[in-house]
Structure 1
Amino acid sequence: MENVKKLEKELKDVIEKEKEALNEAYDDLVIKLQKERDRLQKDLRKEYKQAKKYVKKNPEVSLGTALAGGLIAGVIIAKILNR
């Protein structure tokens, strides 16, 4: 009976250590993901500002690009819906 209790205590200790290690790994991963999210948001804002400046400087090119993109998207959607 004493062996069983000793084994039970050892198992509980091991499980507790693993639980702590998993919690630490999870916390580290959350921090890394938050940093990556912040970096991506910063990059996206930068790209948006650059695109906005480009559109203001070149409205005709931007309109043509949007028109071509819309036509391509329309053709693709039409082909998908006609199957």
Structure 2
Amino acid sequence: MRMKMADFKEKEQEIRDTFLREKEELKKTYNEIVEKLKKEGDKLQGDIQKEYDNARKYVKEHPETGLGIALAGGLLIGFAIAKILNR
């Protein structure tokens, strides 16, 4: 019986060690993924800001075009809303 109990304790310790190693590996992988997502988020935020700045610059340089686009967009949205409400 002692031999079996010793084997049981040894197996239990092996399982615990394996579990702890796997847990640490998962933590490491999780942290790497979080870091990559942060970097991608920062890059995306920079890209969006750049496009926003370009759009504002374009509208300042070509106000009539910007006004025309806004008018056309407003009309399209207005027609779409009217069509939906008349159903």
**TM > 0.5 fold call:** yes
Structure 2 spans left out of the alignment, 5+ residues? none
**Corresponding position of 1:74:** 78
CA RMSD of aligned residues (A): 1.8
Amino acid across the alignment from 2:35: I
Q: Find the counterpart in structure 2 of residue 35 from structure 1.
A: 39
Match of 1:54 in 2: 58
Evaluate the alpha carbon distance shift between residue 53 and residue 2 of structure 1 in structure 2; reply closer, same or farther with a 3 A threshold. same
Equivalent residues, number: 83
Unaligned runs of 5+ in 1: none
TM-score, with normalisation over the residues of structure 1? 0.84
Percent of aligned pairs with the same amino acid? 54
For residues 5-61 of structure 1, give each alpha carbon's deviation from its aligned partner in whole angstroms, at most 9, with x where no partner exists: 111111111110110110000110111011111111111111111111100011111
Q: Normalising by the residue count of structure 2, what TM-score does the alignment of the two structures yield?
A: 0.80
